[in-house]
Structures are given as C-alpha cells and as structure tokens.
Chains A and B, each alone.
Chain A
Amino acid sequence: MTKPILITGTGVVSAIGCGKEQTLDALLNNRTGVGPLVYLKTEHKEFPVGEVKMSDYEMRKYLNINNDTITTRTALMGMIALDEALKEAKITSEMLPNVGFISGTTVGGMDMSEQFYLDYVNNDNHKEYIAVHDCGSCSEMTAKHFGKFAFITTLSTACSSAANAIILGANMIRRGEADIVVVGGSECITKFHLNGFNSLMILDTQWCRPFDATRAGLNLGEGAAYLVLESEESAKKRGVKAQAILSSYGNACDAFHQTASSPDGEGAFRAMKEALELADIQPDKIDYINAHGTGTPNNDLSESQAVKRLFGDNVPPMSSTKQFTGHTTSASGSIEAVFCILALQNGFLPVNLNWSQPMDDGIVPVHQAVKKELKHILCNAFGFGGNDSSLLISKDMRHETTRHETEGQESHVTGPEVSRPLFVLSAKQISVQQPLSEDWMTQPIEYQTPFNRSIDPSFKEYIPPIEARRMGKILKRAIATSKEAIKASGLESVDAIITGTGYGCIENTEFFLESLSKEGEQMLSPTYFMQSTHNTISSLVAIQTKNHGYNVTYAHKGISFDSALQDAVLQMRLGKINSALVGGHDELTPTFYQILKKGGMMGLDDEMCGESAVSVVLGSKSDNYLCKLVNFKMLHKPTMEQLKAVAADFKADHILTGISGNHKSDVAYLEECKELFSGAKLLKYKHLFGESFTSSGIGFYVAAQCLKAGRIPAHLFVNPQETIDNKPSNILIFNHSDGDNYSLTLLEA
C-alpha cells in the first residue's frame, strides 16, 4: 500500500511579497526583496536585509488584530502565511480540532525580550511579554488566531526548523496518526541574531552572492510559510486538489561543529541521499535543487561537495533563492518549499541572482531564466550544529499510470501497524537530587528554598576540558546524561538523537541579552550567541557521540520532552529507527527565575523550581530493560469527553502527576485524576525534583526507575496511607502544561 503525502494548501510571506501571487511575480521577474534596513531598530545599518515590507502595526491591521492583544512579529508573520494556506486548502475553523499544527522557530518572542529585557530584570513594565518569549508560545499565538487545533508542537533546529516541522507532519500522516497537519515555520529578524551572526562574522555588507567566488557572507531575512499536508483519502473526501506531492525527506546530522559545516558536507550528503532512497528515486530524476546556499564561504563549499558526492558529474540545475529573500533562518525550509511548489506549477527554474564568477570546487548555479517542465525537486535546509534536512517535492502525477512516471511518489512505509511495546533501555538524570544516581529513592534531598540549582557531577570524564570550557552547564549535563544513558543501554550507538527543551541554553541567552542591553551592539561574544540556539544541546550530543543519525530539537513549553518522546515513538513504530536517545534539558539562572516568576510562568505559591537534565534510551528489542513503553498520546486543549475517551486506553494502577505546589494547577490536576482514573493511586515527584519546563522527562525517569526497582518509595505517594502496595505493574505519567497541553505515557514493568 502506498501513502502519498499531498500538499493541499500553501501560504507564504517574505521580503518578496505577501502571498503567493506577489511571490511568484518576484521570482519570475528576478526582483529581490533585499535592501537597506527599514523596520528593525538597530545600529547596524551597514547590513542589507530581506525584511517583510510591513511594520508590526501594519501586520496587525492586515490581520484585524486590535492593539491590546499581545503579539510578536514572528507570530504575526506566521498568521499571515497560515491564513493563506488554510484558505487554499479550504480548512475552516470548525475543522481545526481535527487538524495538527507544527511550527518551526528559534527566535520566538525575542523581538520583544530584546527590547524589554532590562524592564524584565528591574521593574514590572512590559511583564506581559515575558510569557511569550519562548518558541512554543509563538506557535500557540499563531494558531489561536484561527481556532483550536488538535495538537501543536514546535521544532527548533535553527535554520532547518521549518523543514523538520514538515518531516514530523509527514511522518504523522504516514503513520495514520493524523489526516491533516499544517506544517512550516516563521521567523522575524531580531537585533539578537543580527548581532549574533555579526559576531560570527558571517554577514555580508553587500547583497549576498551564493556560490560566487567573491561571496562574503549572508544577508538576514525574515518571513513565514506553511504547507497543509494531507492524506490522499482525506483530500479525496473533502474534494481538494494537491498542489504538489511531498514524496520524501531526509534528516541527518553533520556532527562536525556548532557553527560550521564539514568540508565534505557529510550531513547534507546523508540527508539528500536518505530523501532519494525513501522515494526510491534515481539521482538523474531530480530536475532542480533549491540549495540552502546562504552565501557564506563555508556553507556553499560544503553544500557543493555534498551535491557532487551524490550526483557525480551530473549535478541537476541548482540555485539559491536567498538573494531574493535574505536568509529567513528558521522559516527558510518552508518558504523555499513554497518556492519549489511554485516552480513545479509554473515550470521555471528560480535564478541564482547576483552570480558572476564560479567558485573553486563549487557548483555552477542557474544564473539565467529557464522555462522547463519539472517533476522532482530537492529542497535543502541546513541548521547550526549540522541539523541538515532535505525535502523531495514532486509534481502530482498520480493520474499518470506508468511506473516510470509515478516513481518517487510511493512510500515504502506502510500505514498504521499494531502498536507493539517499545523498551526503555536506560534513563539517567542530573537534577537537584544526587546526580546520575537513584539515591532519591532511599535518601531524598529535601528543599525549603523555592529555587534550587542542579547538583553537578565532575564533568571531566565526559568532556575533554578544552571542549568543555565554552559549554554552559546545561550542555555539560546533557552530554553527561546522554553518554551514561547510551552506556547503560547496552547499545553501541543510537539511531536518533531527539531533544526537548523549553528555553534552551538560557544562561548564555541571558549573557547575550545583558550585554546587548547594557553595552550596546558592539563586540558581543560569538560563544554566547552560538549557544543560545535551542538545538545546540542535541547537536553537541551528536558531535560528542559522533552520531550522524536523525537529530531534532523540540521547544514547546512544558511538553518539549513529551514532543521529543512522541517523535521517537512515531519513528520507531514507522520502522525508520530501532533506537533513540530522548533528552529533556532545561537550566535556570537566578535572574531568569525572577523573570519567569514575574511573568507568572513558574514559582507560584509553594512551587519549588529546579533544573533538570534527563536522557533516556528507547529500543525496539531488548532482553535487559527498565520497563516497557506501551502507549503514548498528546492532546491540545482537550475537552473532558476527549480526555475520558483517551484515558480508557491508558488504564494504570498508579498515576504519576505533575503536582508542584502551584495551588490552582494542583487542584485541577487532582480533580481531573479523580474523574479520569478513579481507583488508581496518585504519585508525585516535583516536590523532590522541582518544576522545570522539561520536568516531565524527570517524571518519565522516576516512573521507569520505580518499575525497574519493583517498588515505589513512600515519599512519592500523594496520599501517604496508600504506600502498602509494592511491585507496581504499571505507571501512567499524566502531564499537563498550563492546562493547555496534555501528554499521557503508559509504562509497564
């Protein structure tokens, strides 16, 4: 059985226009949107940029949003693109409860945080913007403008975020977990990353020249684009047409350096090769490659090498479109996917503008307008840390019957299969309890203070000092727990590294914001910037463990770890991977604790806040394991009826709750548990480990270790009278975040 993924709607906004009509016109007429800076307030007027030609105020007007509503520029652009995509796919707000939304961003609400940071620290002004700093809030704000989606999550893999959102959505449809998923990304230009890229000295003061001998860096851009991915049955039922087919995709990690691509383009080569193999398509069938092509000396050389390795002397026509839009960072994967769809529909090759001299060892890009019928296009998006992805987008040729013509549109992965249990092979933590140990079972450390930092082990045996000296604590904890978890799993290596983090390396982000706010836009540290991207954690773990496999990062509030877990389970059930390292990592500094408390995000009532690093290894086969993972489900703003229907599949003797000392949320938790799981014994863990954005990872760890030990310590029971029972047979981890996002994870002994 084949399951083509249809693209039934697209929407886009970038420097070359608002909507597909303007975009196509600009692409056909070689009209760039890159020019002098107008909207962003920065000292760096020397850098040309690709801004969307609307102020925030004009975007609000366009979207009919009043001035009292809290928004960020990234969310506003997202709404503009999402509106066009939903309309084209004929999706109304009534249908949204059956539609998923997966967005990619790294900047999130940084445009506001960089303006108000000193207020956040010093007074109560603008504190309403604190809650929209993170990536997940941005996706939810975008989605909320249209209605209530079935589920929402956020990918944050720097410049490949949107491409990875597309991959997740496609996998969910392949597996039959959704019929329609809207995927893509959004990112506005901020002072934060303009200065960050400047500190890395990769911005060109002239119009960028990808694949040119004289190229000297990139121009930043901004924008958003979303694609509606839909199963064939659903599109047929609704009577909507496919704009194009998402034939396949690949994701691999370069595992080379945090900010540079390897000289031989290993990650890019693997991602493109995987895309061709999944579609079972020969390289000579590719009619065009939309390159990542940023215009930095390093990227263009590395990408050229990767393409030459894969295509030999027959490199297909290839161009970068970053001269049109600037580098739209997290949104580039979906914006350029829309360009590819426009190229397929209108039969033309986008021109690699501003090119004149071939570079040494580089490809020669398309530098003159070419009209040509196109069938298969590869679209590349690569991110910092070597998070490389490639999408294969094809013309809809399902009506053409010969094998030759439909080649590339058949997936070798079949539909839903019977869910078999997956094994939790190992789980390791560093937190406010004794690190890398299960001492908390017998000798828990009790805290009276509302905010506590992790107890760190010596990191020397995990990371060579020369490499450790630039790493923030969160990175060291992630590497140490990852290495310990892989060792304890008995596996030599894992097939995938999937990480969740609510706020990423917040300490380095804080340093960078502080110097930007206090010292101004000069002489900022590249180290702080490069570590501020959320995917630094996952990519450093890949570098440290030399892992080129699937690698992504989720940054969606309290369900970041849960989202990572969902992806791992999905891919294991699709048979794409046999093992995965799933991480949940968040750190907290005294300053950010105060900021988040001020924003009402944590530390309310008697809540104890901590830091947590958890790494678990899942495997599909094992004779030595902690426990089995038998079921997993995520829900967005479910009704009680929906929760009840789902809870029926998650029957358990013990429920591990996330009660944390936040009175309002605890009451809701306990009432829901009573209604959903009557008779089950309730457990808690946050009184020992504290609240953090990825504490559900700690919950997973605690449940897995209890099942392995065959006992639940008395101090975990919500009701102390219930502690007689031993030898638990199963534990359900019931997590919810802000009352909006729920996850249920059923573990069995």
Chain B
Amino acid sequence: MDELIYTLKQQIIEALNLEDMKPEDIDENATLFGEGLGLDSIDALELIVMMEKNYGIKLQDPTQGKEIFKSVAVMADFIAKNRTK
C-alpha cells in the first residue's frame, strides 16, 4: 500500500501540474480539496482521467469523486479494491 500511495502522489503531481511539490510534501491523510491542497472541480475531473488511464477505473458520475478523492489514502484504498490494471 505504501508503494501505491507514493506512486499515486507522483501521478497526482503530474496530472494536476503541481510543479513545486514533491510526493513528500503531500500528507496522505490530509484533505485534497478545499482547505488541503486547494484543488477544485477541474482537478477532480483530471483525477478521474488519471485513474482511468493508470488503473482502468471508470467513474460515470463526477459526484462519486467527492468520497473517493477525500485524501490520498482513501484514493489508494479505492484504487487497490477496484483497479483493473
């Protein structure tokens, strides 16, 4: 799981163009949206694309993202359970 979390952080940085950040800067338990990293609805859509590309997970409803993208840890857990690649 730790490896997945680290890879995931790298993928989030790339997908969201968080140029000045390193994986170590992201607390996997901190909230990604709102107060945490300050991400918005377009970032959520980019994360949906990223999950489909890298893990073969297809979300049909953008509002599902709200639960899944709570934190990196929650995301990693969801990916581990649902990945198809």
Contact = CB atoms under 8 A, between A and B. Distances in A.
Contacts of B40: 257
A470 B40 CA distance: 11
A183 B74 CA distance: 53
Interface residues of B, number: 18
B45 A200 contact: yes
Interface in A463-482: 465-466, 469-470
Given A201-B62, A469-B17, A470-B17, A523 B42 contact: no
A251 B27 CA distance: 44
B20 A201 contact: no
B49 to A, nearest CB: 5
Interface in A507-526: 522-526
Contacts of B52: 522-523
A523 B53 contact: yes
A470 B42 contact: yes
B20 A465 contact: yes
Contacts of A258: 42
B49 A526 contact: yes
A527 interface: yes
Contacts of B38: 466
A474 B61 CA distance: 32
B49 A524 contact: yes
B16 interface: yes
A469 B42 contact: no
Interface in B46-66: 46, 48-49, 52-53, 61-62
A530 B49 CA distance: 15
A562 B10 CA distance: 45
B29 interface: no
A259 B46 CA distance: 14
Contacts of A199: 45, 49
B46 A526 contact: yes
A430 B36 CA distance: 34
Contacts of A279: none
A260 interface: yes
B49 A525 contact: yes
Nearest to A298: B41
Contacts of A530: 42
Interface in A525-550: 525-527, 530
Interface in A257-316: 257-260
Nearest to B18: A469
Nearest to B15: A525
A201 B45 contact: yes
B16 A469 contact: yes
Q: Which of B17, B41, B42, B49 has the most CB of A within 10 A?
A: B42
A469 B49 contact: no
Contact of B19 (A201, A469, A526): A469
Contacts of B16: 469
A634 to B, nearest CB: 37
A259 B42 contact: yes
Contacts of B61: 201
Interface in A58-99: none
A470 B45 CA distance: 13
A469 B61 CA distance: 26
A59 B61 CA distance: 38
A530 B40 CA distance: 14
Contacts of B62: 201
A524 B15 CA distance: 12
Nearest to B59: A201
A470 B44 CA distance: 13
Nearest to B39: A466
Contacts of A470: 17, 42
Nearest to B53: A523
A523 B49 contact: yes
Contacts of B45: 199-201, 526
A206 to B, nearest CB: 13
Nearest to A471: B17
B50 to A, nearest CB: 9
A524 B46 CA distance: 9
Contacts of B41: 257, 259-260
A524 B50 CA distance: 10
Nearest to A297: B63
Contacts of A466: 37-38
Contact of A527 (B37, B42, B48, B53): B42
23 contacts: A199-B45, A200-B45, A201-B45, A201-B61, A201-B62, A257-B40, A257-B41, A258-B42, A260-B41, A466-B37, A469-B16, A469-B19, A470-B17, A522-B52, A523-B49, A523-B53, A524-B49, A525-B46, A525-B49, A526-B45, A526-B46, A526-B49, A527-B42
Q: Which 9 A-B pairs have the closest CB atoms?
A: A469-B17, A526-B45, A201-B62, A523-B49, A523-B52, A466-B38, A523-B53, A526-B42, A470-B17
Interface of A: 199-201, 257-260, 465-466, 469-470, 522-527, 530
